[in-house]
Structure 1
Amino acid sequence: MRTLVIGDIHGGLRALHQIIERANVTPKDTLIFLGDYVDGWSQSPQVIDYLIELEKTHTCIFIRGNHDELLLEWLVNKADNPMWFKHGGESTVLAYANLSEEIIEKHIGFLRTLENYYLDSQNRLFIHAGFTNVNGIDYEYFPKLFYWDRTLWETALGLDKSLKTTDLLYPKRLTLYHEIYLGHTPVSRINKSIPIQMASVWNIDTSAAFLGPLTIMDVDTKEFWQSEPLPNLYPNEKGRN
């Protein structure tokens, strides 16, 4: 049995189908999704439908992303959010325009069940964005940072590589967990398109919302599989570009 972690999907159902097939996923595998299932490409509702069905046959852990929370707020309150609209929400609003109330209520139910994080028996943390408290997730004062924070990844990215974990200057947050798997900040920002490890942190967001592929990775072996770049799969769409 494998533990497989999946990066930010952003409405790219075709890419999700590809990585499930390319990784030869079976019901024996545990699938950990890092969030941001929606906003970007045109199939956000279909992604959620697929995940709801997938959970019936596979062991799935669904982490909450910031875009998933923004969608939930919109579905429940129907309040305009111009910032969300500009950052991927427009495609999602259009995709939900003709869906039945029954489907929308089912999706609201799914979005409400998302987890802020998952900590496994090997002290590996799976989280969408990060956390800010130096004592870890159990002490976080602001839970929304679990799916909004960027400072954890930035800390790992900017770390002086000559520092040892026992050094007084070594960031405590990076020593609390054996490994941390996150998404949220695309690795394309550092001109990469594959999963990147910095210190104890693995970033699995390979920019599927923009010009990159979607990624699934075996957390034990670090073998990974990727879809085609999303613009190839949705040639007549702009995604979040």
Structure 2
Amino acid sequence: MKRTLVIGDIHGGFKALQQVFERANVTENDQLIFLGDYVDGWSESSQIIQFLIELSEKQECIFIKGNHDAFAEDWFSSRETPGVWLYNGGKKTVESYADYSPENLKLHLEFFQRMKNYYVDEENRLFIHAGYSSMHGPEREVYSSNYRWDRTLWETAVAMDKKLSRNSNLYPKRLLLYKEIFIGHTPTLHLGVKIPIMKANIWNLDTGAAFTGALSIMDVNTKEFWQSDPLPSLYPAERGRNK
């Protein structure tokens, strides 16, 4: 039976991705939606991108672009290394590409360039890395960087009164546009939660794989989810994005 599985922020943790694929028993029949931030943090960013390129040749995959992916794409294009990027995990990404040929680097750049800003499925479910600020939805967003950086969508959902009805005039208009919204970008660890969490109609799949958390994958229909081991246990000699 075909499933639609959504995957949270990976941040260079290829071992974690392999674990959740095995634990979720991912097959070629499954549709896979990745919420972005494939790189930066742990040491296997280039291996992840190569794996995803090959995976997309075998089954249906949708790749959303995260803020860290945008940083990496800029580096592929210009070879410039902004200090803020290196400090926030980019150094590990650069190191992982040390032995890549110009031809393979070009293939990986083209993969980043093909990533989507967001995706809406046939059931009006939105998949986006971070969020959007426009009350008319991401297609009317003035600042495209919000797809990758916005936190106000999630913060709004977290701060909402649980008793507020969708029929209320006070219910945020941005949230009424979609049946469900799936995001990454803001670790659930900030709320003291280690698993995917739902606020209003938003599911947050970033369970802190860049730091001390695990990588998560979820069946969007049943809401069953699987997690890797915490990333520090998979990379004991590394620190990820922990400072």
TM-score bracket, shorter-length normalisation: over 0.9
Residue in 2 aligned with 1:16? 17
1:55 aligns with 2:60: no
SS of 2:9's equivalent in the other structure is: coil
Letter in 2 for 1:155: T
Which whole-Å CA distance do the structure 1 matches of 2:81 and 2:57 have between them? 34
Deviation at 1:224? 0.3
1:227 aligns with 2:228: yes
Deviation sequence 1:12-44 (CA, Å, 0-9, x none): 000000011110111111000000000000000
Which whole-Å CA distance do the structure 2 matches of 1:232 and 1:118 have between them? 33
Residue in 1 aligned with 2:100? 99
Identity %: 56
Letter in 2 for 1:66: N
Mapping 1:8-87, distance limit 5 Å: 8-87=9-88
Which whole-Å CA distance do the structure 1 matches of 2:205 and 2:139 have between them? 23
Letter in 1 for 2:113: R
Letter in 2 for 1:223: E
Deviation sequence 1:98-131 (CA, Å, 0-9, x none): 2211111111010000000010000000000001
Where do 5+ consecutive residues of structure 2 fail to align?
Answer: none
Which whole-Å CA distance do the structure 2 matches of 1:231 and 1:206 have between them? 13
SS of 1:168's equivalent in the other structure is: coil
Which whole-Å CA distance do the structure 2 matches of 1:160 and 1:86 have between them? 37
TM-score normalised by the chain length of structure 1: 0.98
Which whole-Å CA distance do the structure 2 matches of 1:80 and 1:229 have between them? 29
Residue in 1 aligned with 2:109? 108
Letter in 2 for 1:126: F
Deviation at 1:172? 0.6
Which whole-Å CA distance do the structure 1 matches of 2:133 and 2:56 have between them? 31
Residue in 2 aligned with 1:133? 134
Deviation at 1:80? 2.7
Which whole-Å CA distance do the structure 2 matches of 1:95 and 1:13 have between them? 12
Which whole-Å CA distance do the structure 2 matches of 1:80 and 1:93 have between them? 9
Which whole-Å CA distance do the structure 2 matches of 1:128 and 1:75 have between them? 21
Deviation at 1:4? 0.2
Deviation sequence 1:198-237 (CA, Å, 0-9, x none): 0010000000000011000000000000000000110000
Which whole-Å CA distance do the structure 2 matches of 1:189 and 1:90 have between them? 24
Which whole-Å CA distance do the structure 2 matches of 1:87 and 1:29 have between them? 32
Deviation sequence 1:31-89 (CA, Å, 0-9, x none): 00000000000000000000001111111000000000000101111123111111111
Give the number of aligned pairs: 241
Which whole-Å CA distance do the structure 2 matches of 1:93 and 1:27 have between them? 31
Which whole-Å CA distance do the structure 1 matches of 2:113 and 2:239 have between them? 28
Which whole-Å CA distance do the structure 2 matches of 1:86 and 1:22 have between them? 32
Which whole-Å CA distance do the structure 2 matches of 1:228 and 1:217 have between them? 15
Report which stretch shifted further, 105-114 or 138-147: 138-147
Letter in 2 for 1:179: E
SS of 1:181's equivalent in the other structure is: strand
1:200 aligns with 2:204: no
